[in-house]
A and B are shown apart, each in its own frame.
Chain A
Amino acid sequence: MKETRFGWLGESRREALLALISSEVAAWSSEWWVHHASADVDARGGEHHRFTTQGPKPFVSPSPSGSLAMFLGSKGFDGIGRHLAGTVDEEDTGWARRMGEDALDDLAQRIFRRAGVTELSTLSESSASLDVGRTDLGAGVVAIALGRLEWVLAVDRQLADRLVPPRAIQPVGLTSRQSALDGVSLRVNAVIDFGSVNLTHLSDLRVGEILVGDRKLEEALQLHVEGHGAVAKGYLRRLGSQRAVMLDSAHSQERYTS
Chain B
Amino acid sequence: MKEVVVAPVALEEVDYRQGTGKPLVERNLAMLGHVKVRVDVLMGGADISVEKLFALAKGDSIELDADLDAPVALLLDGKPIARGHLMAAGDCFGLKISEIL
Binding between chains A and B? yes
Residues on A lying within 8 angstroms of B by beta carbon are: 181-200, 202-203, 205-218, 221, 223, 225-226, 231-232, 234, 236-239, 241-249, 255-258
Bound-state CA distance A35–B66 (Å) is 88
Listed A/B pairs (19) with beta-carbon separation below 8 Å: A188-B46, A190-B45, A191-B40, A191-B43, A192-B43, A194-B74, A202-B76, A206-B97, A213-B94, A225-B53, A236-B43, A239-B63, A242-B44, A242-B64, A243-B43, A244-B61, A247-B57, A247-B60, A257-B78
Given contact pairs A196-B39, A232-B56, enumerate 6 new A-B contacts (beta carbons under 8 Å): A182-B51, A194-B39, A211-B97, A246-B60, A257-B78, A258-B78
Q: Mark B12-41, 1 if CB is under 8 A from A, else 0.
A: 000000000000000001101111111111
Are A210 and B53 also in contact (CB < 8 A) when A185-B48, A237-B61, A258-B78 are? no
Contacting pair B78 A205 (CB below 8 A): no
- The smallest beta-carbon distance between A36 and chain B, in angstroms, is 69
Q: How far is the CB of B62 from chain A (nearest CB, A)?
A: 5
Complex CA distance for A244 and B68, rounded to whole angstroms: 9
Of all chain B residues, the one with the shortest Cβ separation from A223 is B62
Chain B residues in 8 Å Cβ range of A225: 53
Distance of A147 from chain B, by nearest CB (Å): 69
Count of chain B residues near A, Cβ 8 A? 59
Contact of A198 among B36, B46, B68 (CB under 8 A): B36
**A-facing mask of B56-93, CB < 8 A → 1, else 0?**
11111111111110100011101001101011111111
In contact, B57 and A197 (Cβ under 8 angstroms): no
B3 at the interface (CB under 8 A from A): no
The answer on a CB contact under 8 Å between A188 and B62 is: yes
Which chain A residues border B51 with CB–CB below 8 Å? 182-183
Q: Which 3 A-B pairs have the closest CB atoms?
A: A182-B51, A200-B33, A196-B36
Q: Are B93 and A213 in touch, CB under 8 angstroms?
A: yes
How far, in angstroms, from A196 to B32 measured CA to CA in the complex?
A: 14
Q: Which residues on the A side are within 8 Å of B78 (C-beta)?
A: 256-258
Return B55 CB to nearest CB of chain A, in Å. Answer: 9
Minimum CB distance partner of A183 in chain B: B49
Cβ A194 vs Cβ B95 within 8 A: yes
Residue of A nearest to B32 (CB): A199
B1 at the interface (CB under 8 A from A): no
Chain B residues whose C-beta falls within 8 Å of the C-beta of A194 in the assembled complex = 38-41, 74, 93, 95
B67 touches A198 (CB 8 A): no
Q: A257 to chain B: which residues have CB within 8 Å?
A: 78
- For A248, the chain B residues whose CB sits under 8 A away are 58
Enumerate chain A residues within 8 angstroms of B67, measured Cβ to Cβ.
241-243
Known: A207-B97, A213-B93, A215-B92. A185 touches B36 (CB 8 A): no
A24 CB → nearest B CB, Å = 55
Evaluate contact between A210 and B95: CB separation under 8 angstroms. yes
A243 to B63, CA, bound (A): 6
**How far, in whole Å, are A238 and B94 apart by their CA atoms in the complex?**
19
Are the CB atoms of B50 and A244 closer together than 8 Å? no
User: What residues on A are CB-neighbors of B92 within 8 Å?
Assistant: 195, 212-217
